[in-house]
Structures are given as structure tokens and as C-alpha cells.
């Protein structure tokens, strides 16, 4: 959900609201509101630019899953850059409300909103019935031990396309990360107190 990271100041737009800017694609330059909830910050522009450069060959025409969506920065960026579908999830009613407002403002029918716990949602998936995602954004609250269980469930529940790309954002103190054995590390960088990694899924 893009939490607890040092950040350049975000633009305040009134009581309880801040803004992020989409940096590429169809909606480049569009500004979207997100709630001023303690600890909620969008993935920084420079990190998003790097990430979507890495994903340039995978996002257009792809189906994306944005777990812990928060501000929606990653899901909306993917849609702006040509993703045909984005499932966006968060457990905050305030966040879901604002994401819905942004979907309406952008006039897109390619975003699906799910309100609830990402872990609980993953646990209840049926591995034989689910659609598969080409790109997954996984940015859970820091220091909660949620990253590795989410990675395991994404694989166990058969939610990933054959060569899916999985973006994982964690606190930098988390030096090691156990992921499914058929995921290979494609790229890795650090930005302040954040480490972000992109994995490529291979055949088991």
C-alpha cells in the first residue's frame, strides 16, 4: 500500500486530500486525489519511471493486479500505459471510495475494485477458476510480514500467467526475501528506505 517511506512533498489539495501525477501514457500529466491517511504515500515518481521502463514490454495489453493499491499510483499508471485490465484492492473504505472517484474521473471501464484484505482474498481464490495476471504490483504495509505469504499464495492459487512479472516493494531492512522457486530476480534497486524488486515467473 506504499507506506512509511521518505518522500518528496506531495501536493495538498484541501482537507483530507493529496494528489499524485500520472507520469506516462494516455493520461500523462493527469492529477488524481488520494486520501491523506497516515503512512499512505504513492510510489515516488522516479521509482515508477524506473519500474515502468522495466515493464515496457509487459504492460501494454496485459492484465494487472494491484494488491494493497493505496493511492492507486501503480494500477492507474499501468492502465495509462496500455494495460487492458487492472484489479485494484485495498482494505480501507476511504481509499476504495477515492479510487472509485478516480476511475470515474478517468472514464475507464478497465479497472475493477475490490474492498478487503489482500491475504484473505488470495486465500479464497480457486486455483482452477481464476483468471491469470501478467503483471502484479505487491506493495504491502512495511514491517507486517505480509510480503512472503502473498508471494506464496499468488503462485499456489495459479493466479499468474506463464511468464508474469511481479513487482515487490519492501522496507530496505528486509534484506532477504523468500519467493517461489520458479521466480527469478529480474531487477532490483534501492531508494532511501525502500527496496524494490521485479521478478519474472518461469515454469516450475
pLDDT in tens, 23-36: 999 999 999 998 88
**Rounded CA gap, 187 and 202, in Å?**
15
CATH numbers and ranges of domains, the chain: 11-201 (3.40.50.150)
pLDDT in tens, 61-82: 999 999 999 989 999 999 999 9
Q: Is the model's pTM score more than 0.85? A: yes
Cα distance from N-terminal residue to C-terminal residue, the chain: 29
Angstrom distances, CA of residue 77 to CA of 62, 73, 91, 142: 13, 6, 21, 22
pLDDT in tens, 102-154: 999 999 999 999 999 999 999 999 877 678 999 999 999 888 889 999 999 99
Amino acid at each position: 500500500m506504499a507506506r512509511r517511506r521518505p518522500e518528496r512533498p506531495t501536493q495538498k489539495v484541501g482537507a483530507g486530500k493529496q494528489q499524485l501525477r500520472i507520469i506516462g501514457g494516455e493520461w500523462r500529466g493527469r492529477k488524481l486525489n488520494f486520501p491523506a491517511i497516515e503512512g499512505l504515500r504513492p510510489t515516488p515518481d522516479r521509482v515508477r519511471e524506473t519500474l515502468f521502463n522495466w515493464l515496457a514490454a509487459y504492460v501494454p495489453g496485459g492484465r494487472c493486479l494491484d494488491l494493497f493499491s493505496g493511492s492507486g499510483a501503480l494500477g492507474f499508471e499501468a492502465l495509462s500505459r496500455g494495460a487492458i485490465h487492472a484489479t485494484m484492492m485495498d482494505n480501507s473504505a476511504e481509499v476504495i471510495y477515492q479510487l472509485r472517484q478516480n476511475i470515474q474521473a478517468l472514464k475507464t471501464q478497465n479497472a475493477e475494485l475490490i474492498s478487503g484484505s489482500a491475504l484473505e482474498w488470495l486465500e479464497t481464490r480457486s486455483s482452477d477458476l481464476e483468471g491469470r495476471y501478467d503483471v502484479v504490483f505487491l506493495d504491502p504495509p512495511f514491517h507486517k510480514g505480509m510480503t512472503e505469504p502473498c508471494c506464496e499464495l499468488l503462485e499456489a492459487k495459479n493466479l499468474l500467467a506463464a511468464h508474469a512479472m511481479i513487482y515487490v516493494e519492501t522496507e530496505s531492512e528486509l534484506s532477504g526475501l523468500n519467493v517461489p522457486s520458479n521466480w527469478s530476480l529480474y531487477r532490483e534497486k534501492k531508494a532511501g528506505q525502500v527496496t524494490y524488486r521485479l521478478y519474472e515467473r518461469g515454469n516450475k
